[in-house]
Structures are given as C-alpha cells and as structure tokens.
Amino acid sequence: MALAFSNIERFSVGDRVGILVDVALDNSYPAGGYPLTLSSVGLLNLSRLILTDEPAGYNLDVNYTDLKLLILNSTGGTFVGSALAGHTHTVTPTGTNSAPALQTVVDEVVSVTAGTGVSAALANIPVGAIENVYVTAGGVTGVFQIVPAGVSGTTLVSVDHTTGVLQFLIADAVTSATVTYVRSATTVPVFTGDLDVTSSTSGGTPAGTITGGASSEVTPGTDLSTITLKLFLLGR
C-alpha cells in the first residue's frame, strides 16, 4: 500500500522547490488515502499539490494535515430539461508572454576512463553549481570533495564547467560516478494578462436540473495499479 515515484524533475520556484513526478498507484488502496512520503522526492514539507491530469472515473483530493492522497470515485449526475442550442464562443487574450528562467537540478551518471581519471562530458553544458559527486564504482567509492582545479589527493575531483568533464585522481581508479548539479537556466513561456470571452447563442436557453452525482473514497483494497498520475508538488 504505497506510491511509487519515478521521472522526478526539480525546479527552483522562488524560495521553494517544485517537483514534477510520475506516481504509480498500487494494487490495494489504503483506507484514508495513500501516505505522501515527501522524502522520496526530496521535500521536507508540502505547500501545494497539483494534479496535471485526472484519471477517467476518479477524482483526487489531498489531506494536507495527515499528508495523504485520497482517490475518490467520480459519479456523474443526470440532467433533466432542455439543452442549450448550438452556440459559439470567442476567446481573446489581452496580455503579454514572458519567459522567466528556471533552474533544474539533475542527477547524472557519468563513466570514467580507467587509467586517466577523466570522465565523459556531462549532458547539459555549460553546467551551473555542482552540488555533489558520488563515486559508485572504482578503487575508492563514496562522496568526493569538489576542488577548483589540480587534483592532488584521494577522494578529490575537479570539474570543468565549460566542457562538463570531471578529473579524478588516477590512483583512485574511478570508473563511474553520479553527479548532482544545477542545469543551466532554461526558459518557460508564461502568459500574463486576461482572457476576454464573448459568446453568442441561438435557439433559446437551457432549462432543467441535475440530480444525483457525488464523490466518495474508493473502497479500501481496490486495485489501482493500472493508474499512473503526473503530480506537481510545491514545498521546501
């Protein structure tokens, strides 16, 4: 009875961190909702959770007090009356597009050539700040100290920010390492302004009522393993 997180992307959002992540549900829904283990995505607390695409037949809710994700059955109501005749809408944007820079934190595995201590280049260059270098294979493993240049001792590594190449001490015999770094700022278009909506109708107006329709938590033990959600979490 747990959520499985994958394809985690991190963004700097002002003084907070945004996480875009795929979340796979399991085969036994727990009563009261799925616990949100924030540590699994690198957060200490949660300010907001946004679902980017709701699965068919279900609604979602968040219990921010207990940090749980609730899955609700979606039951549609029945409309009784006369429907609105054919009509059109015109949407006119009034505003501007801007492109603020967003920084992304990347975890990348690089290979290192034996006998040289020189790594393959990082995929995203030029790179920003290097946050961590963790050697996973070689004569010495673990966290390495990042130095500006001139590797002169064991467990030291230097990084060329322009080429994205790392240099290890040859004697450490490093063959693979995971590098956590800030990707160069990218831009995301953002629209600032209003949307003016005008409409014209013909053939009368709708008249009637909607009866029924409600959302209730799914039955504990329900198999939801075919559902994968795309969530955006904002926190610190």
Q: Confirm whether 231 is domain-assigned.
A: yes
d(C-alpha 27, C-alpha 8), whole Å = 22
Q: Confirm whether 83 is domain-assigned.
A: no
Residue after which a domain boundary falls, among 147, 168, 187: 187
The whole domain housing 120 covers: 101-187
pLDDT winner (highest mean) among 11-20, 95-104, 197-206: 11-20
Whether the pLDDT of residue 173 is over 90: the answer is: yes
- Is 167:118 a contact under the CB 8 Å cutoff? yes
Q: What local confidence, expressed as pLDDT, does residue 156 receive?
A: 94
Q: What local confidence, expressed as pLDDT, does residue 186 receive?
A: 56
The number of domains in the chain is 2
Q: How many CB atoms are located within 10 Å of the residue 184 CB?
A: 14
- 3-class SS string, the chain: CCCEEEEEEEEEECCEEEEEEEEECCCCCCCCCEECCHHHHCCCCEEEEEECCCCCCEEEEEECCCCEEEEEEEECCEEEEECCCCEEEEEEEEEEEECCEEEEEEEEEEEECCCCCEECCCCCCCCCCEEEEEEEEECCCEEEEEECCCCCCCCEEEEECCCCEEEECHHHCEEEEEEEEEEEEEECCEEEEEEEEEEEECCCCCEEEEECCEEEECCCCCCCCCCEEEEEEEEC
Query: How buried is residue 206: exposed, middle or buried, by Cβ count under 10 Å (0-12/13-18/19+)?
Result: exposed
> Both 122 and 73 in a single domain?
no
Handedness of CA 29, 30, 32, 35 (dihedral sign): negative
Q: Which has the higher per-residue pLDDT, 71 or 188?
A: 71
Q: Confirm whether 9 is domain-assigned.
A: yes
Whether the pLDDT of residue 57 is over 60: the answer is: yes
> Both 180 and 226 in a single domain?
no
Q: Confirm whether 16 is domain-assigned.
A: yes
> Both 52 and 126 in a single domain?
no
> Both 152 and 230 in a single domain?
no
Report the percent of the chain where pLDDT is more than 70: 73
Q: Confirm whether 106 is domain-assigned.
A: yes
Q: Confirm whether 92 is domain-assigned.
A: no
Residue range 125-152: mean pLDDT, rounded? 87
Locate tokens 């956590």: which residue?
180
Q: Confirm whether 141 is domain-assigned.
A: yes
Q: How far is CA 57 from CA 28, 42, 60, 62, in A?
A: 17, 31, 10, 17
> Both 74 and 105 in a single domain?
no
Whether the pLDDT of residue 199 is over 60: the answer is: no
Report how far apart the first and last C-alpha atoms of the chain are (Å, whole number): 25
> Both 61 and 126 in a single domain?
no
> Both 135 and 183 in a single domain?
yes
What is the domain-level CATH number for residue 231? 2.60.40
Q: Confirm whether 58 is domain-assigned.
A: yes
- Is 130:108 a contact under the CB 8 Å cutoff? no
> Both 73 and 107 in a single domain?
no
Strand partners, 82: 207
Q: What local confidence, expressed as pLDDT, does residue 15 receive?
A: 85
